[in-house]
Amino acid sequence: MATSLGDSLNDARRGVPSPRPPKGRENAKNTLCRNVTIFGHCKYANSGCAFNHDPSKFGNSPNSHQNDSAKKKFNVDSPSFTPLQPASNGASSSSRSATISPKAANAAVFTPKRAPAKTNLVSPQPQPKDMNTDWGSHDFPDFVPQTFDTSQLAADPTASAAAMNSYDPFSVSSTMAGLGGASHQASLNPYSQDAANLGGAAYFQSTNTFTQPLQYHLYAPLGPHRENLAPYQRTVHDFFIPDNLREELQRKAEATLQVLPNSTLPSVDHFHSLVPLDTTNQKNAALFGYPSWVYKAMSSQDGNYYTLRRLEGYRLTNEKAIRSIDPWKRLDNGSIVTILDAFTTRAFGDSSLIIVTDYHPLAKSLAEHHFNFNQRFQGNRSPQNFILEQVLWSYIVQIASALKTIHSHGLASRMIHPSKILLTSKNRIRLNACAVLDIVQYDNPRSITDLQQEDLVQLGRLILSLATNSPNAMLNIPKSMEQVSRIYSEQMHECLKWLLSPGPSASTPQSPSANALLNIDAFLAGISTQMASVLNASLNAEDTLLSSVNRELENSRLVRLLTKLNFVNERPEFENAPQWSETGERYYLKLFRDYVFHQVDAAGHPVIDLGHVLGVLNKLDAGTEEKIMLVSRDEQNCFVVTYKEIKRSLEMAFQDLIKASRGGR
């Protein structure tokens, strides 16, 4: 029968006789007396207690019970837990001595070794002998930002760690520092189309490193896409202009606002903040007789951006030369870069001629666009890389239109050259650098008829080189013409033949045999069928643009409505106005705002739904008779109102605000 500890204590208090060995327990001598266990001794030990009174025989002492319990429980005296590394040979850690023998001081220094490869145990990583010394002894290089080419990493992974130490993606200063003079200036144009020609080519070659400016203007097409939707459904994209158009406009805006930090370029007259637009610092004086530079600049007179073409080293000898620009200022044609002014300056430290024209952000020359084989075709001039015939006709028609305007003003372009025709948007070109030769060659006048005829010949040369994808097409005209007849239509071949005919020979491009002067009217008559199709394409493009603008019109209407709502809602001065109190007539304007923007679903989660916002605001703008239920935030009030009523209330509140703004409270 078991005896509880309580019973034993009671027995002890009473001085009960030592329990007799239970019947049948003759081996009581092998059992430790309970009195010894409880009190440390037994007063009946010598007077008949049959139990054993020697605790040492049981490996026990009167305190050993306490010690046992102390060992079992955690208490404040518990030794702190220090995990031991498992032995690399797989021996149990419990076999280790908890203390270190003094002999250990003489033990050989422990040098950790790698576990044998065949062991399955995860061996602990060898620890350095002295961590502090080791850290201190490492010679960590200081962080020095430099340009970084991630392509190296792919080629040589072992170099990656060292390379990463020196990479700062936001540092362009070190890149710029390596560039000098004009190349430095040119390379600062991140939109420059011909990066390989720039002084900063190394920087631009690896597109991986080009982290600035941020590419926020790139939009990926997000679903759901049209084909997954019912015809009446709309996506968010349907409410805004197409992504590619927005991207183009944003890039142009960014290029326009771009500045050149730490520029040493001077201000020229009322133009300041000059930014070089040249994509190469190799200047040849072949076209104008002077090296020319092109800059974007801001006018302090009207805050607009213009292009300054500088002819370096030009000296004005005749006052009338500069006035030959005047008739050019009166020209109005969409295919000519508008010429605004011309003057000479010494701001650059020399004598320079400056011609001011309109600025077309991100424009590039036809030469850059079509003759940059490395970038565009990787040297491949296969037929599929030749310019489409419609595009060539579009160029011809646009230039013919420009020449018509120029020639009918008694002027000649004199500069129909691939590097002097700007591509300002898709297939949209403009004659650039007109009038320059009129100024610089003023003292060597030539017959205007000759010059105008030469314009048409220059047009022929330009189209021939574009059609053959070769700037040197004129070196072997028969071969180039033969190539044209293989790739393009008979009409294109005839047109080029007419333009390139040496002297007055043809009446129209289609009947080269008739004798007549090479003039622009005859040319226009000859390409009239192409003009009709180019006009049609241009009208279609205009319609597309107009519908894109229309989408933004809707947005601007909603922005105005939102502005109105925000003007009247939550004005601090109306805090105590009775009209806005819970019984006032304008209270539901507040509730309407909650209805538009602060809706929650049945589970209390915010509803973020642009479709709801646009739908509701459109109905408000139209003032429809549709009824909506507006509920106060505490859900104690509920109004059923039409959009028409809300619109009227909003209008009144806004008109009051306008009156108050004029001081007419």
**What residue ranges bind ligand ATP (CB under 6 A)?**
277-280, 283-284, 287, 292, 294, 307, 337, 357-360, 363-365, 368, 419-420, 422, 432-433
Smallest distance from ligand ATP to CB 314, Å: 14
Pairing of strands 421-425, 428-431: antiparallel
Query: Is the Cβ of residue 205 or residue 280 nearer to ligand ATP in the bound state?
Result: 280
Radius of gyration of the chain (CA): 46
- The pair phi, psi for residue 358, each rounded to 5°, is -65, 155
Query: Is the Cβ of residue 49 or residue 356 nearer to ligand ATP in the bound state?
Result: 356
Tell me how many degrees the CA angle 583-584-586 measures, rounded to the nearest 5. Answer: 135
CB neighbours (10 Å) of residue 332?
A: 8
Pairing of strands 292-299, 638-642: unpaired
Q: Is 362 annotated as a binding residue?
A: yes
CB neighbours (10 Å) of residue 321?
A: 19
- Helix pair 610-622, 528-568: axis angle to 10 deg: 90
Smallest distance from ligand ATP to CB 400, Å: 21
Closest CA relative to residue 406, chosen from 358, 353, 454: 454
Query: Is the Cβ of residue 42 or residue 422 nearer to ligand ATP in the bound state?
Result: 422
- What is the C-alpha separation between 240 and 615, in angstroms, rounded? 15
Smallest distance from ligand ATP to CB 251, Å: 13
Smallest distance from ligand ATP to CB 280, Å: 6
Specify the residue for token string 């539901």: 588
Query: Is the Cβ of residue 434 or residue 520 nearer to ligand ATP in the bound state?
Result: 434
Q: Is 619 annotated as a binding residue?
A: no
Smallest distance from ligand ATP to CB 310, Å: 10
CB 518 within 8 A of CB 505: yes
Pairing of strands 305-312, 339-345: unpaired
Token duo for residue 633: 């935030």
Q: Is 365 annotated as a binding residue?
A: yes
Query: Is the Cβ of residue 176 or residue 255 nearer to ligand ATP in the bound state?
Result: 255
Smallest distance from ligand ATP to CB 196, Å: 14
How many residues belong to the chain?
A: 665
Query: Is the Cβ of residue 337 or residue 406 nearer to ligand ATP in the bound state?
Result: 337
SS3 for 107-144 is CCCCCCCCCCCCCCCCCCCCCCCCHHHHHHHCCCCCCC
Token duo for residue 33: 């007396």
Query: Is the Cβ of residue 49 or residue 277 nearer to ligand ATP in the bound state?
Result: 277
Query: Is the Cβ of residue 179 or residue 277 nearer to ligand ATP in the bound state?
Result: 277
Query: What is the DSSP track for 46-95?
Result: TTT--SB--GGGGT--TTHHHHHHHHHS--TTSPPP-PPPPPTT---GGG
Query: Is the Cβ of residue 149 or residue 248 nearer to ligand ATP in the bound state?
Result: 248
Q: Is 502 annotated as a binding residue?
A: no
Query: Is the Cβ of residue 280 or residue 485 nearer to ligand ATP in the bound state?
Result: 280
Closest CA relative to residue 435, chosen from 260, 350, 309, 563: 309
Q: Is 309 annotated as a binding residue?
A: yes
SS3 for 138-164 is CCCCCCCCECCCCHHHHHCHHHHHHHH
Cβ neighbors of 413 (< 8 A, separation 6 or more) are 402, 403, 406, 431, 434, 455, 458
550 membership: H or E segment, kind and range: helix 528-568
Q: Is 358 annotated as a binding residue?
A: yes
Q: Is 364 annotated as a binding residue?
A: yes
Q: Is 420 annotated as a binding residue?
A: yes
- The pair phi, psi for residue 481, each rounded to 5°, is -65, -35
Specify the residue for token string 């403009």: 430
Smallest distance from ligand ATP to CB 358, Å: 6
Query: Is the Cβ of residue 277 or residue 325 nearer to ligand ATP in the bound state?
Result: 277
Closest CA relative to residue 565, chosen from 609, 605, 510, 621: 621
Closest CA relative to residue 48, chosen from 18, 68, 16, 79: 18
Smallest distance from ligand ATP to CB 218, Å: 22
- Alpha carbons within 13 angstroms on the beta-carbon side of residue 8 total 12
Helices (H), 238-380: 243-257, 319-323, 326-329, 366-370, 373-376
Bond prior to 383 in cis (omega within 30° of 0): no
CB 526 within 8 A of CB 502: no
CB 112 within 8 A of CB 126: yes
Query: Is the Cβ of residue 361 or residue 526 nearer to ligand ATP in the bound state?
Result: 361
- What is the C-alpha separation between 144 and 142, in angstroms, rounded? 6
Smallest distance from ligand ATP to CB 596, Å: 44
Smallest distance from ligand ATP to CB 335, Å: 13
The strand pairing partners of 357, in sequence order, are 307, 339
Query: Is the Cβ of residue 209 or residue 307 nearer to ligand ATP in the bound state?
Result: 307
Query: Is the Cβ of residue 243 or residue 341 nearer to ligand ATP in the bound state?
Result: 341
Q: Is 630 annotated as a binding residue?
A: no
Smallest distance from ligand ATP to CB 182, Å: 11
Smallest distance from ligand ATP to CB 338, Å: 9
Smallest distance from ligand ATP to CB 287, Å: 5
Smallest distance from ligand ATP to CB 360, Å: 4
Binding residues: 309, 358-365, 419-420
Binding residues for ATP: 309, 358-365, 419-420
